[in-house]
Structure 1
Amino acid sequence: MSGGLRSVDEHLDAILTATTPLPALQVPLLDALDLAAAEDVVAPIQLPRFDNSAMDGYAVRQADVATATDESPVKLPVIGEIGAGQSARPVSSLPAGTAAKIMTGAPVPPGADSVVPYEWTDRGAKDVWIAQAPSSGQHLRYAGEDVAVGDLLVEAGTTLGPRHLGLLASLGRASVRVRPRPRVVIVSTGSELREPGAELGDDSIYDGNSFLLAAAARRAGAVPYRVGLIPDEPGALLDALDDQLGRADVVVTSGGISMGDFDVVKEALTPLGSVWFGPVAMQPGKPQGFGTLSPRSGGRAEVAVPFFALPGNPVSAYLSFETFVRPALRRMMGITPESRRPVTARLTHRVGSPAGRRQFLRGVLTLDSDGVSVAEVEPVGGSGSHLVGDLAASDALIVVLEDVTEIAAGERVTVIRLDQD
């Protein structure tokens, strides 16, 4: 099906409305890095599991050493040594007037209420001289002071980082339920395209789009599959798509959706009736397509794979991916925010924009003196959708809204940082 002019927000809303999170699955902890938890994780045990020593030293009763000083040290008999991980308790309890040598992480024997670090003693084996008194409870880690049984530690939807995974492992979890990474099939169309490294003819060009989009998909957290180049032949495209749908959660094509005589994607897929093709009020990236594809050969039963048809010019393809595909991938992964958070910056040079279109200009950011906050943004190159060199030189998009036709130098503008969420 085809339609009239859509706004950027309308097209994104249509995409996100049709996009649902992927079914959750259980994965080993390290495979869950940067994925969204699909379950609440509640502590099954307490942390620490038992009272233990925070220092290498001597477990004592504080009252027995309260008067210890360098000038008047206290001498206590050492009744045993306690190491971490010992299956049997070498010191079942600590009688008054005694000390037990203890290692960091070892369980504190009943009766002891503080630990004297080695540095405050003569490190005696049979008897120990203590020259400084700890306060009651000093250098002890109490059972459950960090995590109590039943504490909610990870909420569903949390993007799991190294610290979360370390916590889960400390709780005895070897795996966790997450939303998986979408498998994204990337297809470049065009009889003029050649693989990088191949010999070029007079009218051929290297395919950069599939590498650009595959890298962008990987950066978004997906698993990209770059498919070989497809000529401007509808049958070849349909065969390739049918072959790839078995491993795809998403299919992305570039090229073949404008108004030309050889726009193979639109020609091949319009008769299916499941893909919308039409203009979106943006520059660059006006021609867009979105819908679903199902295997013609009856492969996976009742599967409708989200399909994005992006323009063929590299800047248009990349901006379309950032604006439409990346948010959909993050929704499939259960990760928020789905779109990059905009910031504002001072514009270094005047820019113009056509009325009625949201323009995305490439820019280079200058950070404030704190090295974190954005201070200003300088437009890079022109507005042409073929200027891939300018795209590579940029690290931000300057967003000019539909009702704005000019922004003067020095004004604050909305900016999307391309290397940060």
Structure 2
Amino acid sequence: MTATADAEAAANELTPLADYLGSVLRRLRALPPLDLDLTQAHGNVLAEDVVAPHAFPAFDQAAVDGYAARWEDISGGGRGPSYVPAPSGTPGGRTIRLNVVGDLGAASWRPVRLTPGSCFSVAAGAPLPVAADVVVPVEWTDQGMAAVEIFRAPKRGYGVRRAGEELAVGTLLARAGTYVSPALVAVFAATGIGHVVVRPSPRVVIVATGDELVDVGRGSQPGQVVDANSHALTAAAAEVGALAYRVGICDDDPEGLRGLLEDQTLRADLIITTGGTGTGPGDMVRRILSRREGGRAGPVTFTDVALYPGTALGFGTVGAEEVPVVCLPGDPGAALIGFEVLARPAIQLLAGAEPVFRPSVRAHLLETVSSPGGLREFRPAHVAERRGGGYTVQPLSGGPFTLSGLAEANGLLVLGERVTTAAAGSTVDVLLLDRRR
């Protein structure tokens, strides 16, 4: 049997990524909802639909600074206005003069009514006088105080915002599963909502494992590897909206690892470990967490998934509270890809967010690439919109294991299990990464 045939036979024994993700995500449930003050709700996901208890705007109001008037008075259809010669250069040859009978600001509350031939000076946001159906902008007048001359007549309804014209009482403002953005906070507040029911942000604890690990602030040397993973995964969890906690490095000590995980279940909704998921002599996480005790399987099941990079992934629960735990590989590139395909969807599901997966597009491949048969590959890439529509994608050099490529990427090129070569010019799937640049 050839080396290629051996590789394909080995790949056929792996669990398809889609099947594995489905089996994991079906075991997770969104966190119980909380009733939060509006100022604390930003960044969370709504647990129930929200409807408007009050209209917005709440009353008829001026949309611009100017003069609130009756349109028939300024259009020439009424009896009240006086016509005077227009200033030099004014179109139409004459202006309209109205008596200014008062001023209204945003804090005005007494109801007032217009009479023919009169108007009120109003500030934007001020309640409109009864019978007013137009606001003449200040710059279209001589800005008079006792009487005003209007050089240009707007259309009926100009500068007026009617009660409920944007949002009526009972309007569905947002559905369950919607992310609470700053703009949505403003909508809720404007319609009289002070509390909303949301899913809490998941508390995610990140643990790096391995005797070889040392903390940041130094360079790696033989026998020592700087712990990049726990820092990167903490940042990745925070980017999703989780409350992320890095607990540091845990040595390959069975009792120490069990004790650490047990302690963290008190403050975690999800635990992520990195390192030790393989079957080598130093892979203690898999050996410890999958060990059968008392005839029962270990708390975590490790599966060899048809994923490149990083085929070995673990999932299960730990502690009396059965807190979910995701075990990712130790290679930094494989750990970050594993986070994207497994840990990130798990966090989204716990948070009640929809959809749980990143958005994807179909893109025109600019360079021919090869991929290992039988594995679904996620490769760092740069995706760009084409003028006239559509997308192009450029694979970044170094393949999926390079941290520099992941740092530069704004997308992940996805090559399916049956793809061994993707030719330039073909159409491929690309996951869009959320890069704030």
Q: TM-score, normalised by structure 1?
A: 0.89
For 1:329, the aligned partner's letter is: I
CA 1:247–1:394: 2 relative to 1, 3 Å = same
SS of residue in 1 equivalent to 2:380: strand
Aligned partners of 1:83 and 1:366: how far apart in 2? 49
Matching of residues 19-34 of structure 1 within 5 Å: 19-34=28-43
Q: 1:202 to 1:285 in 2, by over 3 A?
A: closer
Structure 1 partner of 2:349: 331
**Does the residue aligned with 2:46 lie in a helix, a strand or coil?**
coil
Query: Who is 2:397 aligned against?
Result: 380
Aligned residues: 406
From 348, 360, 368, give the equivalent of 1:350: 368
**SS of 2:211's equivalent?**
coil
Could you list the structure 1 runs, at least 4 aligned residues long, displaced by more than 6 angstroms after superposition: none
CA contact (8 A) 2:271 2:323 kept: yes
Match of 1:363 among 381, 386, 400: 381
Partner Cα separation in structure 2 for residue 364 and residue 345 of structure 1? 11
Residues 235 and 148 of structure 1, relative CA distance in 2, 3 Å threshold? same
SS in 1 for 2:431: strand
**Structure 1 residue matching 2:56: 3-state secondary structure:** coil
Whole-Å Cα distance in 2 between the matches of residues 355 and 306 of structure 1? 32
The 8 Å contact of residues 186 and 251 in structure 1, kept in 2 or not, is answered as yes
Deviation, structure 1 residue 38: 1.3
- How far apart are 1:410 and its partner, in Å? 2.8
Q: Write the letter of the residue equivalent to 1:403.
A: R
CA deviation after TM superposition for structure 1 residue 367, in Å: 4.3
The answer on whether the counterparts of 1:364 and 1:380 sit within 8 Å (CA) in structure 2 is: no
CA RMSD after TM alignment:
2.3
1:395 and 2:414 are equivalent in the alignment: no
| Distance of 1:341 and 1:131 partners within structure 2 | 53
Q: Compared with structure 1, are the counterparts of its residues 122 and 361 closer, same or farther at alpha carbon in structure 2 (3 Å cutoff)?
A: closer
Asked if the contact 2:371–2:419 (Cα under 8 Å) also holds between the matched residues in 1, the reply is yes
Task: Tell whether the 8 Å contact from 1:235 to 1:268 is kept in structure 2 after alignment.
Answer: no
Compute the displacement of 1:420 (Å).
6.1
Partner of 2:173: 153
**Deviation at 1:60?**
2.3
The CA deviation string for residues 70-105 of structure 1, in whole angstroms up to 9 with x for no partner, is: 33333333222222212434xx22222322222222
- Tell me the equivalent position of 1:298: none
SS at match of 1:360: strand
Q: Which residue of 1 aligns with 2:105?
A: 83
- Spell out, residue by residue over 1:384-409, the C-alpha distance to the aligned partner (whole angstroms, 9 max, x if none): x4x33333343332222112222223
Structure 2 residue 80 is the aligned partner of structure 1 residue 65: no
Alignment of 1:13-412 (within 5 A): 13-67=22-76, 70=86, 71-89=93-111, 92-198=112-218, 202-271=222-291, 273-295=298-320, 303-369=321-387, 373-382=390-399, 385=401, 387-412=402-427
Asked if structure 1 preserves the Cα contact closer than 8 Å seen for 2:307 and 2:377, the reply is: yes
Q: What is the distance in 1 between the residues matched to 2:188 and 2:218?
A: 49
5+ residue gaps, structure 1, are 296-302
Q: Which amino acid aligns with 1:418?
A: L
**For the Cα contact (< 8 Å) 2:379–2:395, is it kept in 1?**
no
1:109-155 superposed Cα distances (whole Å, 9 cap, x missing partner): 22333223322332222223333334333322111111111111111
Once the 2 structures are TM-superposed, how far is the Cα of residue 200 of structure 1 from its aligned partner? 5.6
**3-state DSSP class of the match of 1:73?**
strand
User: How far is 1:66 from its partner?
Assistant: 2.3
Alpha-carbon separation, structure 2, partners of 1:7 and 1:119: 68
Residue identity in the other structure for 1:159: Y
Equivalent position SS for 2:135:
strand
Q: For residues 293 and 415 of structure 1, what CA distance do their matches in structure 2 show?
A: 34
One-letter amino acid of the structure 2 residue matched with residue 144 of structure 1 = G
Amino acid at match of 1:73: T
Contact 2:381 2:393 in 1 (8 A): no
The CA distance in 2 between the partners of 1:393 and 1:126, in whole Å, is 65
Q: SS at the partner of 2:107? A: coil
Structure 1's 10 and 129: CA in aligned 2 closer, same or farther, altered over 3 A? same
Taking the aligned partners of 2:157 and 2:423, their CA distance within structure 1 comes to 64
TM normalised by structure 2 equals 0.86
Unaligned regions of 5+ residues in structure 2, if any?
Answer: 1-12, 77-82, 87-92, 292-296
Mark the CA change 1:280 to 1:31 in structure 2 (over 3 Å): closer, same or farther: same
Specify whether residues 199 and 124 from structure 1 end up closer, same or farther in structure 2 by C-alpha distance, changes over 3 A only. closer
- C-alpha change, 1:389 and 1:46, in structure 2 (3 Å) is closer
Distance 1:80 1:379 in 2: 68
Instruction: Tell me which residue corresponds to 2:294.
Output: none
Is the contact between residue 53 and residue 193 of structure 2 (CA under 8 Å) also seen in structure 1?
Answer: no
Going from structure 1 to structure 2, the CA distance change for 1:112 and 1:411 (only over 3 Å counts) comes to closer
Indicate if the aligned counterparts of 1:46 and 1:144 stay in contact, CA closer than 8 A: yes
> Which whole-Å CA distance do the structure 1 matches of 2:367 and 2:142 have between them?
71
| Secondary structure of the structure 2 residue equivalent to 1:237 | helix
Q: How far apart are 1:57 and its partner, in Å?
A: 2.4
Q: What is the CA–CA distance in structure 2 between the aligned matches of 1:60 and 1:199, rounded to whole Å?
A: 74
Rounded to whole Å, the distance in 2 between the matches of 1:325 and 1:74 is: 69
Range with greater deviation from structure 2 (18-27 or 106-115): 106-115
1:10-53, CA deviations, whole angstroms, 9 ceiling, x for partnerless residues? 11001110111111112233432232111211111111111122
